[in-house]
Homo-oligomer: A and B are copies of this chain.
């Protein structure tokens, strides 16, 4: 791992890469202690600040954690689901916000992913998950609920649908997708009219899961996608009126 060819790229980036490779390849295992900063500086023949920059890069990716004091140091970190969730959401959010993604594409991806979970959720949905969904539906029907709160509840509902599949890997993968698209979806829920229709479809989905009828859930989800797409296009059209723009939108 100590190799460091004499190319002219950032030393700290090269060192970070060497250590990252060692971790990903399994040469260093979870909770293993890295050499101290001073020792690493020696090994790589660089100064301590350079080593520190490399370590901060790894820390930013949750690959290592550091502990101060005697017998402290940098340790290979076990990447938890929570940390991975967070990174996933940040990355997905930035990807969507920085690149002109058409509403259609984002919407399609979101519902395609959710449909992947629906059969599993219908088979396994726990009483807990169902209760969450019912509670969110009830909340969405409250008069005077702000747009932000409605959207947050919408996200919570869809997350429950995903979590209902009882597969943590799926939940991890989809959390980013669903949460990152919230700002996009926010735009289309500002009328009381659309809320009613959305709530009705949410109820149908919850009913279908409760009845263990995946096809019915799938159908309701498809209708929700079509309705969302329809509303989204209306909003886009209104937005772009007089601007002559296409469907591309910066969220």
Interface residues of A (CB under 8 A from B): 12-13, 16, 20, 23-24, 26, 30, 49, 52-54, 56-61, 63, 78-81, 84, 87-88, 90-99, 101, 105-106, 108-109, 112-113, 115-117, 120, 165, 167-170, 172-174, 176-177
Contacts and interface: CB of A to CB of B under 8 A. Distances in A.
A60 B99 CA distance: 20
B93 A24 contact: yes
A98 B177 contact: no
A97 B52 CA distance: 26
Nearest to A95: B84
Contacts of A57: 56-57, 59-60
A15 to B, nearest CB: 11
Q: Name the prevailing secondary structure of the A interface residues.
A: helix
Contacts of A112: 116-117, 120, 165, 167, 170
A141 to B, nearest CB: 30
Contacts of A109: 167, 169-170, 173
A228 to B, nearest CB: 15
Given A53-B56, A105-B168, A108-B167, 7 more contacts: A13-B59, A52-B53, A54-B56, A95-B172, A112-B117, A112-B120, A173-B176
Nearest to A173: B177
A113 B171 CA distance: 11
A182 to B, nearest CB: 13
A91 B59 CA distance: 13
Contacts of A99: 78-81
